[in-house]
């Protein structure tokens, strides 16, 4: 899962980061010059509409084809052509061959995971027909302008090296911005834009989400629950669509205990009832949607804090740890209930962190789930965090998740079912919090961060603390006693208190407030009692051709956590997030 911390570490303290999700314009982005991103011309749309049947028949005959009228004709379609080259042991075309000539629509296109996905597609299969990126405009940038900015990102450096001076022309020939949002019915698209896409798209990848754990309930339901159904509805209207890949999170399994198999939700499944029986309340998804709509229609009723608390209460009441995973689980339920005969693959990653290998080892964007603690510890701001040292910290590199997403495409395209693929390491290559702390301590001992004077910041070994009381006790002298002592001094001897002392006291108080907030927020994950089975994912990997196993590696049993954390992840944080800064 692409966990995004609700707090972003900003020097010199942890600072809450809020992402605005406002937009007043939803329009199809057309090129304003020959150098702009290519979009459908009116003539192309008209031709596609007039010759839809001829256009559909022009597809490569050996690829799986699905539409609402011919879902049962896959085998007949496959039999028309020769077997795909470099096919897997199951006769499925290799991943690059499947992508050749395909048109994809990707939501959440400016997010961490989707950027790596787009880069991998263009790197491995430059003959992909086109990748449409659903991008929500901001108050200051159109969708097209955001795509222009996206193409400047460091994640695409490998493509820059490959294409040299023709890099920009190549990117413009493959990527198109679609101005819209999953928060609006019809994805906020104009009717002619929607119709044009529905004549083009072969695969839909839905990776957009709000990943803030304690998001306002109305926002989370609209984006994570209803957003999934809006993307599904659009995919069902794409007459060439062979598959919808729904990117979820392994933590939709909520407060389940022990090994958890890859099974889909049914509408109304309630984890609280699984754990406590009929004594627990039932889950009415439609009732939750109505509750969220009430909050949306009455935004001043209780304010944002009350909307957040309602989400957390409903999640815990029904057996989930927070609003994020609760609303994602309900989204999965509705997709399963409403998909009809559209093939759906649900990819459930665990905690998505920096790249293991591609596009470059350690590449990461933004602060992910475990990173606030790692950075705070390296800066000497935190001595330990609350966790069960035997609990598994289920981390998965982003490129492993991307390769899984690409692997399910040829395997599931055209199959009239909904299959779950969990992508995690808790059962195949577990990393406990105790082990993670040991590796982290060794990492910063060998390569410490530097203070403002470029001197190494010395840190004691990172502690695993059993509860919040121990967390307070371990940090009270620095964050609580010092500001209190200064307050006493301020009252007794005000002239002896310097301005810098007052500023430091404020800084310490804010840092403590945010550290304590994170510690409580993350506690359900640092004491998590479930482990994610990955049988479907492992079988899929084993079915790949040897070439695809090398090019699209998502082997879940081959992780060296010492090497990953020490030589890949922490250096990646320093380079790509902190950008060489330590304070």
Angle at 391 between CA 390 and CA 395, to 5 degrees: 125
C-alpha torsion angle, residues 152, 247, 399, 120 (rounded to 10): -50
> What is d(CA 573, CA 9) in angstroms, rounded to the nearest whole number?
11
> What is d(CA 377, CA 459) in angstroms, rounded to the nearest whole number?
8
Closest CA to 144 of 60, 274, 6, 35: 35
C-alpha torsion angle, residues 459, 463, 468, 471 (rounded to 10): -30
> What is d(CA 17, CA 96) in angstroms, rounded to the nearest whole number?
38
Angle at 575 between CA 572 and CA 581, to 5 degrees: 130
> What percentage of the chain's residues is helix, strand, coil (to nearest 5)?
50, 10, 40
CA 52 to chain centre: 35
Closest CA to 218 of 114, 111, 123, 304: 304
Please tell me whether residue 388 adopts helix, strand or coil conformation: coil
Residues whose CB is less than 8 angstroms from the CB of residue 401 and which lie 6 or more positions away in sequence, other chains included: 113, 347, 349, 352, 423, 554
Residue that is written with structure tokens 């896409």 in the block: 197
Structure tokens at 165: 């001076």
Structure tokens at 106: 């990707």
What residues are paired with 247 via a beta bridge?
Answer: 347
> What is d(CA 121, CA 98) in angstroms, rounded to the nearest whole number?
11
Structure tokens at 233: 């509805």
H-run or E-run covering 21: none
Beta strand pairing call for 203-206 and 130-135: unpaired
Catalytic residue numbers?
324, 328
């Amino acid at each position: 899962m692409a966990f995004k911390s609700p707090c972003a570490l900003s020097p010199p303290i942890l600072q809450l980061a809020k992402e605005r999700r406002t937009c007043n314009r939803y329009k199809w982005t057309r090129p304003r010059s020959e150098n702009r991103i290519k979009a459908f011309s009116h003539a192309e749309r008209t031709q596609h509409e007039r010759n839809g049947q001829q256009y559909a028949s022009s597809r490569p005959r050996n690829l799986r084809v699905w539409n609402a009228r011919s879902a049962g004709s896959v085998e007949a379609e496959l039999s028309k052509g020769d077997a795909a080259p470099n096919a897997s042991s199951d006769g499925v075309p290799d991943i690059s061959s499947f992508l050749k000539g395909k048109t994809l629509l990707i939501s959440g296109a400016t997010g961490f995971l989707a950027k790596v996905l787009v880069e991998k597609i263009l790197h491995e299969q430059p003959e992909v027909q086109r990748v449409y990126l659903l991008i929500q405009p901001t108050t200051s940038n159109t969708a097209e302008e955001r795509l222009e900015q996206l193409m400047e990102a460091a994640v695409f450096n490998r493509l820059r090296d490959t294409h040299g001076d023709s890099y920009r022309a190549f990117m413009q020939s493959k990527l198109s911005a679609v101005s819209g949002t999953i928060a609006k019915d019809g994805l906020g698209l104009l009717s002619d834009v929607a119709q044009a896409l529905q004549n083009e798209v072969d695969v839909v990848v839905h990776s957009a989400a709000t990943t803030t754990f304690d998001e306002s309930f109305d926002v989370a339901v609209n984006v994570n629950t209803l957003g999934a159904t809006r993307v599904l509805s659009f995919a069902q209207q794409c007459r060439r669509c062979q598959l919808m890949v729904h990117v979820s999170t392994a933590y939709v399994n909520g407060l389940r205990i022990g090994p958890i198999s890859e099974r889909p939700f049914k509408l109304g499944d309630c984890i609280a009832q699984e754990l406590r029986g009929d004594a627990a309340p039932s889950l009415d998804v439609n009732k939750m949607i109505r509750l969220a709509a009430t909050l949306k229609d009455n935004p001043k009723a209780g304010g944002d804090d009350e909307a957040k608390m309602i989400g957390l209460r409903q999640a815990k009441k029904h057996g989930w740890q927070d609003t994020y995973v609760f609303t994602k689980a309900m989204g999965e339920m509705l997709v399963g209930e409403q998909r009809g005969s559209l093939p759906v693959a649900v990819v459930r990653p665990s905690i998505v962190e920096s790249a293991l290998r591609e596009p470059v080892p350690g590449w990461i964007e933004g602060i992910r789930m475990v990173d606030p603690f790692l950075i705070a510890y390296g800066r000497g701001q935190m001595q330990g965090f609350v966790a069960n040292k035997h609990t598994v910290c289920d981390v998965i590199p982003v490129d492993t998740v991307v390769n899984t997403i690409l692997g399910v495409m040829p395997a599931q395209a055209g199959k009239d079912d909904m299959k779950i693929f969990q992508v995690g390491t808790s059962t195949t290559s577990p990393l406990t919090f105790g082990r993670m702390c040991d590796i982290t301590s060794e990492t910063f001992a060998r390569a410490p961060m530097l203070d403002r004077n470029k001197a190494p910041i010395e840190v004691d070994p990172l502690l695993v603390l059993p509860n919040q009381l121990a967390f307070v006790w371990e940090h009270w002298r620095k964050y609580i006693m010092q500001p209190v002592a200064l307050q006493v001094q301020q009252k007794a001897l005000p002239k002896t208190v310097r301005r810098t002392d007052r500023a430091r006291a404020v800084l310490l108080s804010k840092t403590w407030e945010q550290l304590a907030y994170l510690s409580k927020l993350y506690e359900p994950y640092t004491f998590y009692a479930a482990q994610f089975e990955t049988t479907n994912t492992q079988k899929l990997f084993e079915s790949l051709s040897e070439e695809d196993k090398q090019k699209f590696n998502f082997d879940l049993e081959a992780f060296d956590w010492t090497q990953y954390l020490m030589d890949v992840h922490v250096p990646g944080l320093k380079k790509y997030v902190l950008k060489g800064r330590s304070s």
